[in-house]
Amino acid sequence: MSGGFTVHALLGPEQEEPAEVHARAVLLATGGYEQVLPFPGWTLPGVVTAGGAQAMLKGGLVVPGRRAVVAGAGPLLLPVATGLAAAGVEVAALVESTDPRRLARHGRALAGKLPEGAGYAARLLRHRVPFLARHTVVRAHGDDRLTGVTVAALDTAGRVRPGTERHLPCDTLAVGHGMLPHTDLAEVLGCRLDGLAVAVDTEQRTDVPGVWAAGEATGIGGAALALAEGHIAGCSAAARLRGTAPIRFPPPSRPVRSTGDPPRPSRPPARRPRTGPSRSPTTPWSAAARRSAPVPCARPWTSARATYGP
């Protein structure tokens, strides 16, 4: 790990003040970004991402419009629709493109999220928000800004069913189709990707010596999973900087999922620990290093995605 890294950053509200930080190890926690599938009219003023609408509500209680349609796929649509309705916005419809029957395949993983889901469903009923399953937005209408959207039903293959189109007047469309890992910085550093996510081992190490990654950058899994991965990565980095081995505890008796989200293709599968100098940021531990005091970890030392993921 000789040489280390120089991290160049921009400070301040306007991010205009340059700064440099020198480090022997780097943990990448760059998160994810929202995915939006384009459709005619998607650049009209009044069309925002689901996460953007939620940020408006949370940041300054700003209401993006008076009549909104929330559309796309994924669990983020529920808090966005209920949040808009609670803020006084008339939600014309919650348009979900995913087939609800897919959720039944992940019933065991979603069991812990049933109370939360029931709460959202109750609030949608209380605000009389129509729910359109297996539907999608096919067009947004308007000249200078959004005036309405056309939605249509989808068949089992995800294609639009002809003759099912309907027009929904609205001045706001909050749309999102899930999250994708943000890997730009990891790619600049030369880290290997596994599909759309940064490839890591059970200690959250990338294949670049001295670089760890945790959270959504290694696959979308939610806040609890990101916290677990960050804890594991921190313990691993601290131990290896000291030349010791992280403490390993037996895994828990049963897996604990961090999120009720169904597994997404962007999430890499858990892998066995990598071996060899190309996968380790330090030289092989000596017998003396193995006997020295390890860095303690409060949680069971296992792969985060094996323990907290599917």
Domains annotated for the chain, with CATH where assigned, are 34-177 (3.50.50.60), 181-307 (no CATH)
* pLDDT for 102 beyond 90: no
Facing residues of 124 across strands?
A: none
pLDDT at position 156 is: 86
Q: What is the mean pLDDT of the segment spanning 284-292?
A: 32
Q: What is the mean pLDDT of the segment spanning 276-294?
A: 34
103-112, 145-154, 295-304: least confident range: 295-304
Residue with more model confidence, 164 or 268 = 164
Q: How confident is the model at residue 160 (pLDDT cuts 50, 70, 90)?
A: very high
* pLDDT for 32 beyond 80: yes
**Euclidean distance between CA atoms 81 and 298, whole angstroms:** 37
* pLDDT for 263 beyond 70: no
Q: What is the mean pLDDT of the segment spanning 233-249?
A: 83
Q: What is the mean pLDDT of the segment spanning 263-282?
A: 36
Are 179 and 33 contacting, i.e. CB atoms less than 8 angstroms apart?
yes
Mutual angle of helices 50-60 and 77-86, in 10-degree steps: 40
* pLDDT for 268 beyond 80: no
pLDDT in tens, 134-159: 999 999 999 999 999 999 999 988 89
Average pLDDT, the chain: 79
pLDDT at position 179 is: 87
Q: How confident is the model at residue 215 (pLDDT cuts 50, 70, 90)?
A: very high
Amino acid at 138: V
**Euclidean distance between CA atoms 166 and 160, whole angstroms:** 12
